[in-house]
Structure 1
Amino acid sequence: MSSIPKNHVAVIGAGPAGLMAAEVLAQGGARVTVYDAMPSAGRKFLMAGRGGLNLTHSEKLPAFLARYGEAQPLLADAIKAFPPDALRKWSEALGQPTFVGSSGRVFPEALKASPLLRAWLRKLDSMGVKFALRHRWAGWDEQGRLLFETPDGPRVVGAHATVLALGGASWPRLGATGAWVKILAAEGVTISPLRPANCGFTVAWSDVFRNRFEGHPLKGVALSFGEHSVRGEAMVTRTGIEGGAVYALSAVLREAIAGSGLATLHVALRPDLEISDLVARLSAPRGKQSLSNWLRKAAHLSPVAIGLLQEAAAVSGASLSSLPTEKLAGLINAVPIRLTGIAAIARAISTAGGIAFDQLDADFMIRRLPGVFAAGEMLDWEAPTGGYLLQASFATGAAAGKGVLRWLDRKI
């Protein structure tokens, strides 16, 4: 590679991790080209912004780091080096100040990803970062050069170092296909299988329930599975259930289904009421009211909540109207939903699995591939929604960029 400028670095993947690596590299004096298979940069980043772009979270760092579970010790140094406060200052420097929402989540004031992405791309351009779009990475040739598939045919690119930031396998139409798994596995890199994270689950709804309540939200509920419980919202889909509260339990639900094929999720429709309070409310005379109207008034249940109760009673072979008051009250705050499977990874918010951390050195370089670094969702970690996904992507991108600079200093 003697003809290649000594500080030329290829970044493959134009998402948050790749773009942050490119910025750090350019600041360190590297000549950077970002390659991406899509026609434009940051496709999935823009999709994340449709809900307001939850950049990070304002909770104290120890609690923040705990959200990464088993991956906490593996991600801690990178996040400490580029913590939530640094991410907020970075956004503000791009002309996009942030604010803390009522849940503690951090958003840009514009509540959109596009202004931040445009400002970021302008900054990268001013720093000399080049972009080669519609370049789909296909591995290396015999000389260690990068191979790309482009609309104009195959292209071979030399670089002294490479940052891989190709994402996981969720939302493949936005560029994250997981095709890199076979390429790296062929090089002997150990990769944990990619699995859906922050995902929905399938349920064998009756036709009546599905047709009437598809797309209806369950608001202010509490979901529980074993010792795990979370408050929030869920959404009935045609094939099952999804939503923020479901995503928060998705890791344990996914593993349970992977182990036994099924999992039973329980829904408390009125989690703020004790069973005794519900019994008292349901003990009032029903009179000539229909069962649905009575439940709506006595227990303040929404139509979809009542439908869910009827669905659960039907599955058990009972009639909702025949249940004793105590059993009905108990059912309201422990509606069983039998999950029959995991929704497709293409519909998941994020991906679990990826390059095992023991394959990386402290600078995020793949040990078996000197000069090749990895960042973002390619790595074997997962986190709940709430700003933790983007924060770790930004932080590992920055860490990989710094790692490349140190490696170049030693090698060139």
Structure 2
Amino acid sequence: MDETIDALIVGAGPAGLMAAETLASAGLRVIVAEAKPSAARKLLMAGKSGLNLTFDAEPEAFLGAYGEGRDRLAPILAGFGPAEVRAWAEGLGIPLFTGSSGRVFPVAMKASPLLRAWLRRLDGLGVRLRTGWRWTGWDGASAVFDTSAGQRRVQARVSVLALGGASWSRLGADGAWGRVLTEDGTPVTAFRPSNVGFRVDWSAAMARHFGAPVKPVRLTAGGRSVTAEFVVSARGVEGGGIYALGPELRDGAPLVVDLAPGSGAEALAARLAQARKGDSLASRLRKAGLSPVKIALLREFASDALADPAATARTTKGLTLPLLGPRPIDEAISVAGGVAWDGLGAGLMLAARPGVFAAGEMLDWDAPTGGYLLTACLATGRHAGLAAASWIGTSNGMAPAP
């Protein structure tokens, strides 16, 4: 027999847990079904490098990071943006700090204390977490799950799907839901890797520099530039600067690197020309302020363009790195693609299946790292939760989602 419940959340990542909190706070009985043995595994993995919760920026600047998705996400983030994320985390008893770059982190620099406090709050609200429940689709109005105890079916007045994207499949986000939704009539845009490294065919001479950060640099691709840094790895290049230009690089735009962003070409040429007679090229470049890994990149890709100070300065200010495409999608931190916006109605409800909403990375939006990903997951989870509560008329005074 089917189990019946007010609200069913499929997926126990940040978007799903936020939808569960929102619906339970509205007085609904909520079940969260998660395929993995525990909740929020990707959040915990992200927390190993500090758990960047959000980014302290003016609303317009913050929205700009979402590129083509900004207009769709703007009203959602207006309801739950960086300030609200901070207040929510602090309400869980998690002290925060803002780094010099504007990124906001827990003082503890890890995700586990936040997740434990969050799960305690959800438990206090009556939310029931079912782990080891893998959603396989619907049978009529019932959601169907494979579990260790056999098949289980749940009928819910409303449901929120928060199944993640298609990266880091070992943590639960494998994108298998795309086929289920497509067959059910919901359009799904093809997944593409985002916040991912790009392949480079290095010579053996570069091996000594693997793991070295290249900073500061100014990176340009597709008419857009960022001042940031990246890392040379055995597989290519990766890191914040590469991720920030991911959409342009993914579309094949060349990557041009200014290795000396603090100097003009003429000033750099003058410094190079002041070198003592007999100085090697590496010595001249080092005295001009370039690090060993920057010198190695010049030699790797532009050794023929380093004949004189003027040519060397021009090349240093505009070195093209030959990229061979992104690393595989399962190595990506996140993905672009997912549930198409034209398949969604008001409040992120699936047009093909009334009463079912979608949230988080399974929606078709893209953003760089830096707190943007997590903020939008939390915001869309809350938005879908509000809309679902409003859908069944039990919002208990909470403002319905537009």
TM, length-normalised to structure 2: 0.94
Q: Which amino acid aligns with 1:341?
A: G
Q: Are positions 1:200 and 2:197 aligned together? A: yes
Change (3 A) 1:226 1:375: closer
TM-aligned CA deviation for residue 380 of structure 1: 0.8
Q: Output the CA distance in 2 between the equivalents of 1:152 and 1:212.
A: 52
Q: In the alignment, what sits opposite 2:237? A: 241
Q: In the alignment, what sits opposite 1:265? A: 255
Q: In the alignment, what sits opposite 2:174? A: 177
Q: Output the CA distance in 2 between the equivalents of 1:165 and 1:220.
A: 37
Aligned ranges 1:141-290 → 2 under 5 Å: 141=139, 143-209=140-206, 211-255=207-251, 257=252, 263-290=253-280
TM-aligned CA deviation for residue 3 of structure 1: 7.2
Determine helix, strand or coil for the equivalent of 1:339.
Answer: coil
Q: Output the CA distance in 1 between the equivalents of 2:258 and 2:289.
A: 13
Q: Output the CA distance in 1 between the equivalents of 2:338 and 2:3.
A: 34
TM-aligned CA deviation for residue 111 of structure 1: 1.8
Aligned ranges 1:254-403 → 2 under 5 Å: 254-255=250-251, 257=252, 263-296=253-286, 298-314=287-303, 318=304, 320=306, 323-403=307-387
TM-aligned CA deviation for residue 176 of structure 1: 0.6
Change (3 A) 1:144 1:305: same
Q: In the alignment, what sits opposite 1:74? A: 72
Cα deviations across residues 6-29 of structure 1 (Å, max 9, x unaligned)?
A: xx2110111110000000010011
Cα deviations across residues 229-269 of structure 1 (Å, max 9, x unaligned)?
A: 111110112121111001110111112x2xxxxx4211111
The Cα RMSD (Å) is 1.7
TM-aligned CA deviation for residue 69 of structure 1: 2.1
Q: Which amino acid aligns with 2:299?
A: Q
Gaps of 5+ in 1: 258-262
Contact between 2:348 and 2:384, CA under 8 Å: does it hold in 1?
A: yes
Determine helix, strand or coil for the equivalent of 2:219.
Answer: strand
Change (3 A) 1:72 1:226: closer
Contact between 2:222 and 2:249, CA under 8 Å: does it hold in 1?
A: no
Q: Which amino acid aligns with 1:273?
A: S
Q: Output the CA distance in 1 between the equivalents of 2:354 and 2:73.
A: 21
Q: In the alignment, what sits opposite 2:45? A: 47
Cα deviations across residues 343-365 of structure 1 (Å, max 9, x unaligned)?
A: 11111121101111121112111
Change (3 A) 1:4 1:135: closer
Q: Are positions 1:4 and 2:4 aligned together? A: yes
Q: Output the CA distance in 2 between the equivalents of 1:340 and 1:275.
A: 28
Gaps of 5+ in 2: 395-402
Contact between 2:2 and 2:142, CA under 8 Å: does it hold in 1?
A: no
Residues paired across the two proteins, number? 394
Report sequence identity in percent: 50
Contact between 1:168 and 1:377, CA under 8 Å: does it hold in 2?
A: yes
Contact between 1:88 and 1:97, CA under 8 Å: does it hold in 2?
A: no
Q: In the alignment, what sits opposite 2:54? A: 56
TM-aligned CA deviation for residue 207 of structure 1: 2.5
Q: In the alignment, what sits opposite 1:112? A: 110
Determine helix, strand or coil for the equivalent of 1:253.
Answer: helix
Q: In the alignment, what sits opposite 1:260? A: none
Q: Which amino acid aligns with 1:87?
A: V
Q: Are positions 1:409 and 2:363 aligned together? A: no
Change (3 A) 1:331 1:3: closer
Determine helix, strand or coil for the equivalent of 1:292.
Answer: helix
Q: Output the CA distance in 1 between the equivalents of 2:296 and 2:178.
A: 43
